[in-house]
Amino acid sequence: MKRVVITGIGMINALGNDRDSSFQKIVNGETGIGNITLFNTDEYSVKIAGEVKDFDPKTVMNPRDVKKADRFIHLGIKSSQEAMLDAKLPENIDLDRFGISSAAGIGGLPNIEKNSIVAENKAPRRISPFFIPSSLVNMLGGFISIQHTLKGPNLSSVTACAAGTHGIIEATKTIMLGGADRMLVVAAESAICGVGIGGFASMKALSTKNDSPETSSKPFDSERDGFVMGEGAGSLVLEDYDLAIERGAKIYGEVIGFGESGDANHITSPVVDGPYRAMKAAYEMAKRTTQNENLKIDYINAHGTSTPANDKNETLAIKMLFGEKENCPPVSSIKGQTGHCLGAAGGIEAVTCLMAMEKNIMPPTINYQNPDEDCDLDYVPNKARENELNVVMSNSFGFGGTNGVVIFKKV
C-alpha cells in the first residue's frame, strides 16, 4: 500500500484565525473560552463557549454566496484555504486524482434552528431556499471541492466528536488503496446556538461554571463538571509519499497508524473497551508500518473532554495499552483552551499534533489544579513542555460509541 504524508495544514478556533496564532496561544496556555455572544443566553443555564472571534466569511468566499452556506462551512473554507496555500502544490497536478474528505458532527444546526422558527412562526413558504444545501454536512466538502476544483473522491464523515479523525482515516485509506493521489481533509463545526447549547445542557454534558469561563474546562481535574462547547475547523492536505518527495514538498508527518472501533454499549455513556481497542489497533498498525515492535509513542493528544466519565475512561484505556502509569507517554488535552469543537476537534487536534511534532513541544493541559485518583497520568499540567517528538497519537471518541485514533510520525 502507498505511504501517506501531510504536506499542508490550517486551522481556525477560539484562540486564533490561523494555525500559527492559535498554536502559539495553545503553547502559551491561553484560552479562548468566554461568554457567548452569538445568541442571547438570558434564559439558558449555560452561558459560556469557545467562539471564533473577528471572522468575516466575506473574506473567504464571494459575499453573494455567504448566505448559501452555514457558519461551519465558512470556517471550513477558511482552514482549507490556509492548508492548500501551505502545501504549495504545483499548477499541473491531476485534479481528477485529488479528492476531499469532509467531517462534522452536526452540521448546520444554527440554520436548522432558524428555519424551524420561520416555519413555525411565519409560514413554510418563508423557509430559505438555501436552507437545505447550507445545512447538510457533506456540503462542507461540496463548497470546498468547487472552490479548489477537486474532482477526486468526495467523502464525508458524520460520526459525532470522532468525525474529524475519521475524516483523516478515510482520506488515508483512499490514498493507500490508490483511489486518489491527494486528499484534502476538512473538519468543521459551529453549533453554538440556542438549540445546540440548550440540547447539550439538557443532557447535563456541559460545564455550568459561568462565573469563571476561563477555568470552566478542566480536563482530568477532579473538579471537572462537563465540557465547554467550541467551534472552528482544521484542514490537512494528505499526499502520496512518493509524489510529495518527487516535488520536494515540506512534510509535516506520515500517517503510520489508525484505529477505529465501536462501543456497542450506550449511545451517550462512554466505556473503556471501545477507546482501548481503537488505540490498540492504531498502535499495532504503526508497529507494522515501521517494522518496529518497540515503537515509542512520545505524546498523546487526548480526547480529554473535561467530563467525569470520559477522562477517567480514557486514562484507564491508555494504561491498559501501555501498562503502569510510569510506562505511559505524556498526555494532554487542548479542550480547556479551544473548547470541545465536536466534529472539528479531530481535525484541529491533528493539526496541533503535527505542529507540536515539528516544534518539539507538548501542549499543556490548562486548569489542572486538583489531582483525581482515577486520572493519574502525566497530563503536562498547565505549562507546555519541550521534548523531542517523533511519534504522536491523537484520540477522538464520539456519541453513539464511535472511536477513532490516528498516529503520526516524523519523516
- The phi and psi torsions of 92 (rounded to 5 degrees) equal -95, 20
3-state secondary structure of 375: strand
The residue-averaged pLDDT of 342-347 equals 98
pLDDT the model gives residue 380: 98
Mean pLDDT of the chain: 97
Cα separation values, 231 from 15, 93, 296, Å: 10, 32, 32
pLDDT the model gives residue 357: 98
Nearest to 52 by CA among 339, 354, 365: 339
Residue 340 DSSP one-character state: B
pLDDT the model gives residue 13: 98
pLDDT band at residue 26 using 50, 70 and 90 as cut-offs: very high
pLDDT the model gives residue 404: 98
- The phi and psi torsions of 328 (rounded to 5 degrees) equal -85, 145
Report, as residue numbers or ranges, the catalytic residues. 161, 303, 340
Residues in the chain: 411
Cα separation values, 312 from 205, 309, 374, 395, Å: 15, 5, 6, 14
The residue-averaged pLDDT of 368-372 equals 97
Burial profile 340-369: b = 16 or more Cβ within 10 angstroms, e = fewer:
bbbbbbbbbbbbbbbbbbbeebbbbbbbbe
The predicted-structure confidence for 110-152, as pLDDT tens digits, reads as follows 999 999 999 999 989 899 999 999 999 999 999 999 999 999 9
How large a percentage of the chain has pLDDT more than 90?
98
pLDDT band at residue 284 using 50, 70 and 90 as cut-offs: very high
Domains in the chain, ordered, with CATH?
Answer: 4-401 (3.40.47.10)
> Which residues are CB-contacts of 72 (< 8 A; sequence separation ≥ 6)?
104, 107, 108, 140, 188, 189, 190, 191, 231, 233, 344
Contact yes or no for 328/378 (Cβ under 8 A): yes
pLDDT the model gives residue 248: 97
361, three cell numbers = 513541544
pLDDT band at residue 275 using 50, 70 and 90 as cut-offs: very high
Pairwise CA distance, residues 36 & 22, whole Å: 19
The predicted-structure confidence for 158-217, as pLDDT tens digits, reads as follows 999 999 999 999 999 999 999 999 999 999 999 999 999 999 999 999 999 999 999 999
Cα separation values, 222 from 308, 362, 364, Å: 8, 22, 17
For residue 20, count other CB atoms closer than 10 A to its CB.
11
The predicted-structure confidence for 225-246, as pLDDT tens digits, reads as follows 999 999 999 999 999 999 999 9
Pairwise CA distance, residues 348 & 105, whole Å: 14
pLDDT the model gives residue 407: 99
pLDDT the model gives residue 28: 98
Element (H, E) at 355: helix 345-359
Q: Which region holds residue 275: left if phi is over 0, alpha if psi is between -120 and 50, else beta?
A: alpha
pLDDT the model gives residue 293: 97
